[in-house]
Chain A
Amino acid sequence: MPETAIKAAGSPFGDVVADETRLRRFLDGLPGVDPVALEQRAASLATRSIKKQSKLTAIDLAISMVDLTTLEGADTPGKVRNLVRKGLLPDPDRPDTPSVAAVCIYPDLVPVAAQALAGSDNTTGRKINIASVATAFPSGRAASEVKIADVRSAVQAGADEIDMVIDRGAFLAGRYGKVYDEIVAIKEAAGPARLKVILETGELATYDNVRKASWLALLAGGDFIKTSTGKVSPAATLPVTHVMLQAVRDWKRLTGEQRAVKPAGGIRTAKDAIRYLVAVREVAGPEWLDPYWFRFGASSLLNDLIMQRRTQLEGHYWGGDYVTVD
């Protein structure tokens, strides 16, 4: 029991993170996750039938939760400027379409995005955040000083949010203290920027590990727990997201403090996105149905959301040629 274990360890959490032994004892003492029952529950919630007005509401909500992402070695300043424009006004033909939450890019392109966004408040009345991956994304294989410098430069260039990766090598070796210390250091380096902690659940392999890593990230001060880099398969899945939603729900129950969740990678259709929203509503609770508390890390998802939105409003389906490809 988190509750029982935390009570035993004393409050606040200072005690359980005092040294590696206590941290390990705490994380290993978290209740297990039964994979069969978890996957059954996730599959059963995925059969919810969301129609009519509730579908339209869900689509608009999902659009407003997108971290519109490009994380390619071949990214160019032009592509990032285009991404910013698209994020601000996803469907120019229908200006009532909400903006996305943020663009998510590599650190060296943050200045480009910042420049493209400058004054958007005045010209479009809209604003979106700049999220930057950092900490030697996606592998995280660099010295701590290098990761911290990576974060500082992204924040200085104008990033509002930092998407860091945890040291999976250390985590899988049971060196939870190292992972913890690094998140704490990165959080400090990120300053005012909100910190998303990418667990890379595809490499953690078990749901028990996902739960432990979620709690580790929450203990270390992560504002978001995020599933994946998108560079490892499997990326986000519904059952993994369930476990993470349970973690933030339990965290809030114990501390009164709300934290956010971001599944990323592999969510491509409006149908998928709505299944995630159903999970958010029924596993964590309706108070997480807000772009501040839940995001989708995605690139192609936005276009499907736009097309499904048009379908809902106009009663017929538009082909892919009517939305922009980038």
Chain B
Amino acid sequence: MSPSTESGSIDWEYAPAPESEAIGRVKDRYLPFIDGKFIEGGGDDLVTINPGRGEPLSTVSTVDEADLDTAVRAARRAYEGPWSKLSGAERGKYLFRIARGIAERSRELAVLESLDNGKPIKETRDFDVPTAAQHFFYHAGWADKLGHLGYGPDPRPLGVAGQVIPWNFPLLMAAWKIGPALAAGNTVVIKPAETTPLSALVLAEIIADADLPPGVVNVVTGAGDIGAALVGHPGLDKVAFTGSTAVGKQIQQTLAGTGRKLTLELGGKGANIVFADAAIDQAVEGIVNGIFFNSGQVCCAGSRLLVQEPIAEELITRLIERTETLRVGDPLDKNTDVGAINSRAQWNKITELTQAGIDEGAQVWRSSCPLPDKGFFVSPTIFTGATQTMRIAREEIFGPVLSVITFRTPDEALAKANNSPYGLSAGVWTEKGSRAMAMAARLQAGVIWDNTWNKFDPASPFGGYQESGFGREGGPAGLAAYLDTDDEAVIK
């Protein structure tokens, strides 16, 4: 027996395996959800785009400031009325219902999210939707235990929370925000991003089906002006924002002196630090996951790879080979690894920063995977020979673009990793546990992953340092951000 062909290989390509678009049940028109009803908003309609094709997907009615007032007043009534008076066990029942509703409609939500956001169905199906349900399940369990777990004898809800969420994980961010707010007894006015409002509005349907009292959750639609009007609304007791650092700073200015509580989850420039003794094949997997998951449109993306010099060449070779196997394309294809960029605007920003990297003299490598003719796609891109002074090493690109920097000693790695105005995520790859722990103690980041990346769990707090924001989401610390506790220092 001998190899069948010269190269020893046959031509075995994967046939397209698209998930059916009909499962997403996309409607022609969506309405904001205010005071328990889906109503026509007073603002101009907006058209949401399917980034995988660059074509319109659906139309959404948006709210005006009068609608916003109605929503905040409805939330206040719901808070004063039934919601804050309910026992924790009763609130928990509603949250469990929402969680089950998400699980029941999980296939629909996965397809809808992929269509509206552009991320691959593999991610919405296996990560976004199940993790969103998990957040409601987790917080449902907390609702009746708040008085017994370290928040002081009588933790109280804050009141009405205004929440503004980003477009990169539309459903999951809604779950992160709504779950703890309701579990703690608050009511909510939440605004999804203008480019990805659909899954939050389907979540509103699930919430309506769960028979929540009117006004407990209000979903308002619109662009940045509505977001600004919401966070500045005097009827709120608490503001939670996830998004860009620039907007976060504006919000903090708006709220200064008002006494309203604020949590911000902003940008990042995560350092993924690989030591020479790392489990190299898995480190490569972690790097790929860190920067190409959701096309790098992740605030905690591992967008800076810091690799120890002795293995730099070998690691980069392996990383490039592995990245070359990523399948970029139709977000609905079950075999797609990297989907579309969410919007033309974001595509432009990534393209501009990538060009800046080339102009500044870093060596660029791009995957040869063919891109679809239509839609917003960027090839996975790796810059080697990046230095701390380059824009690609300092600014958040929010795209599938990795900057590789080398280091020699642990101190040098720490100095470079911490040399950023951000401080959201970091990772350490080493087979030596003591080194990982020592690094973790000195890295200035809210989340530090040891030999892994992008591990999320509702029980684990998530949040940043410095310009990555403040406050935590998830776990007991995340709930504390929605509670008026006797001693705020109790839970850290």
Contact surface of A with B, Cβ cutoff 8 Å: 1, 3-4, 31-34, 36-38, 40-41, 47-55, 57-58, 61, 101, 129, 160, 246, 258, 277, 281-282, 285-293
Contacts and interface: CB of A to CB of B under 8 A. Distances in A.
Given A49-B334, A289-B10, 13 more contacts: A1-B280, A1-B314, A3-B314, A31-B281, A33-B281, A33-B282, A34-B282, A47-B122, A47-B126, A47-B334, A246-B281, A292-B2, A293-B8
Contacts of A37: 279, 282, 285-286, 451-452
Contact of B15 (A40, A47, A51, A282): A51
A160 B325 CA distance: 35
B434 interface: no
11 contacts: A48-B14, A48-B334, A48-B335, A49-B335, A50-B15, A50-B17, A51-B15, A129-B1, A289-B10, A290-B8, A292-B2
Contacts of A58: 12
Contacts of A282: 325
Contacts of A49: 14, 17, 334-335
Given A49-B334, A282-B325, A54 B14 contact: yes
A246 B318 CA distance: 11
Contact of A31 (B2, B279, B335): B279
B64 interface: no
Contact of A57 (B1, B10, B311): B10
Contacts of A281: 12
A194 B276 CA distance: 36
Contacts of A3: 314
B59 to A, nearest CB: 32
B8 A4 contact: no
A292 B2 CA distance: 6
A288 B8 contact: yes
A54 B12 contact: yes
B12 A32 contact: no
A57 B15 CA distance: 11
A155 B314 CA distance: 41
B450 to A, nearest CB: 10
A287 B3 CA distance: 10
Contacts of A32: 277-279, 431
A189 B427 CA distance: 50
Contacts of A34: 279, 282, 451
B5 interface: yes
A287 B7 CA distance: 6
Contacts of B310: 1, 4
A4 B14 contact: no
Contact of A101 (B1, B7, B286, B451): B1
A31 to B, nearest CB: 4
B281 A61 contact: no
Between B2, B12, B122, the greatest number of chain A beta carbons within 10 A of the residue's beta carbon is seen for: B12
B28 interface: no
Contact of B12 (A33, A57, A160, A291): A57
B152 to A, nearest CB: 37
Contacts of B122: 47
B13 interface: yes
Contacts of B12: 54, 57-58, 61, 277, 281, 286, 289
Interface in B272-293: 276-282, 285-286
B431 A293 contact: no
B258 interface: no
Contacts of A55: 15
A4 B286 CA distance: 21
Contacts of B14: 48-50, 54
A286 B279 CA distance: 24
A286 B16 CA distance: 18
B389 interface: no
Contacts of A51: 15-17
B9 interface: yes
Contacts of B253: none
A293 to B, nearest CB: 6
B10 A53 contact: no
A135 to B, nearest CB: 22
A28 B99 CA distance: 48
Nearest to A43: B126
B20 interface: no
A1 B285 CA distance: 16
Between B17, B281, B314, the greatest number of chain A beta carbons within 10 A of the residue's beta carbon is seen for: B281
Contact of A290 (B3, B278, B451): B3
Contacts of B17: 49-51
B280 A31 contact: yes
B9 A291 contact: no
Contacts of A1: 276, 280, 310-311, 314
Interface in B409-452: 431, 451-452
Given A31-B281, A47-B122, A258 B8 contact: yes
Nearest to B5: A290
Given A31-B279, A51-B15, A160-B1, A61 B10 contact: yes
A289 B12 CA distance: 8
A31 B432 CA distance: 12
B278 to A, nearest CB: 7
Given A31-B279, A49-B334, A54 B15 contact: yes
Interface in B329-351: 334-335
A93 to B, nearest CB: 25
B288 to A, nearest CB: 9
Interface in B190-214: none
A4 B282 contact: no
Contacts of B2: 292
